Copies of this chain bind each other. A is one copy, B any other.
């Protein structure tokens, strides 16, 4: 198998959304290297137990550094077994003395599942989490700038009561922060195994009194915990949990993207993706400024989210294992790639995002008269009005019908006078200037930003 044209690829993960850092852990070449690393860990442990010489270790290490995926595939094409092919490639590069120690006592999945644990742990720790942390950092900076920028709150796509722009962004910091913490824990919990063909340490028991201890020693070389119980494979739940959390994190990214897409609508226009001077918005409509990055981020979620079903189906493996995950488990890396690509794209897009303060104000004023309805209702209720909600609903309908500001109607309503008299100055003030009615939005935004700046040790 030789080099080929990247555009002959069928998957966009390879010709268009290929992240080189992810590929360092999850490409087929990377997988080969991880499997070799496990084979080497075994030989090192055999040496520590006095079973083979240091020379054997050195030979195997040297051999492993030279094995290429291409030669493994060539051997596999001959013998139709992937791990045996890998083993043959190592053996072909060592002396006859060293040969017996290569893959000694191991079954294929001692190597494969252990390599998988190591590479998924590494790519999550070294690529995915950092990509999320970078995004959080951009959001934290944004909150620090815009904590007090008033924005109308929206529920059901309708204007509700005011918040601040920074407050809305802080929600994403909090949600991503928790996901990062969860990812850290789950990635560290991924177990390896060295328990042989059916998990009962049948082979290693031929040589060791403490085959479970031997397993621990091999996995220690790779900083991996051992599964409490394994069959030919590690129990799939730890990896399933990790992919659930990756999917959850991607869901938060998709939610952020949808919010930004909508805030960029022509009629709303509170934010805008930065446009480069030479960038084309549409092939026929040169005036268009499309939120293509947010759209792309949402689209990547639509790719990766349903694939969790594949992971859940792979949880079921008959008896000491069937191999009906042979192809499917190979696709998990794509999910990681899409998640990383999305996080990176959002980081650069959010970093350059323009917040349009004029439009924020314009939109806020649109229904300000009506926004006052909530505090009015709540104050009336607190002041003992027996039917405050119904009363305010009536006043609101009147305001809309007569196109008069709600405050004016309230001030002139005879039934309101007693209540107006009893209000505190702050309460009275809010009826006149509902933009003040933002609760603790600004402080909350700042607190959340500060918390995660510290927790994630952002510069």
Contact = CB atoms under 8 A, between A and B. Distances in A.
Interface stretch (A130-138, A306-314, A410-418): A306-314
B228 A155 contact: no
B283 A100 contact: no
Contact of A267 (B10, B267, B396): B267
Interface in A289-344: 289-292, 295-296, 298-300, 302-303, 305-310, 312-331, 333-334, 337-338
Contact of A264 (B157, B196, B247, B387): B157
A142 interface: no
A200 B444 contact: yes
Nearest to A198: B153
B312 A251 contact: yes
Interface in A385-418: 385-389, 392-393, 396, 400, 406
A324 B295 contact: yes
A108 B255 CA distance: 22
A69 to B, nearest CB: 4
A156 B292 contact: yes
A358 interface: no
Interface stretch (A80-88, A216-224, A346-354): A80-88
A: contact size bracket: 35 or more
Contacts of A78: 278
Interface in A26-71: 26-29, 32, 69-70
A66 B139 CA distance: 45
Contact of A266 (B211, B366, B373, B377): B366
Interface in A420-459: 426-427, 430, 437-441, 444, 448, 451
A355 interface: no
Contact of A23 (B8, B157, B377): B8
Nearest to A317: B255
Nearest to A153: B198
Copies in the complex: 4
B103 A160 contact: no
A116 interface: no
Contacts of A406: 287
A240 interface: yes
B315 A196 contact: no
B161 A373 contact: no
Given A160-B285, A168-B320, A374-B284, A1 B6 contact: yes
A319 B7 contact: no
Given A80-B292, A155-B319, 20 more contacts: A10-B334, A12-B28, A16-B327, A80-B280, A100-B383, A155-B323, A156-B290, A156-B321, A157-B264, A160-B198, A163-B199, A163-B200, A167-B200, A201-B444, A202-B438, A203-B374, A228-B448, A295-B323, A305-B309, A327-B338
Given A78-B278, A197-B374, A201-B439, A326 B296 contact: yes
B316 A251 contact: yes
B325 A159 contact: no
A27 B10 contact: yes
B252 A245 contact: no
Interface string A124-160: 0000000000000000000000000000111111111
Contact of A251 (B240, B291, B331): B240
Contacts of A392: 286
Contacts of A83: 283
B87 A229 contact: no
A229 B174 contact: yes
A374 to B, nearest CB: 5
A14 B12 contact: no
A7 B69 contact: yes
Contact of A286 (B4, B14, B167, B396): B396
Nearest to A112: B283
B153 A200 contact: yes
Nearest to A156: B290
Q: Indicate the member of A203, A373, A385 with the most B CB atoms within 10 Å.
A: A203
A366 B268 CA distance: 11
Nearest to A372: B287
A261 interface: yes
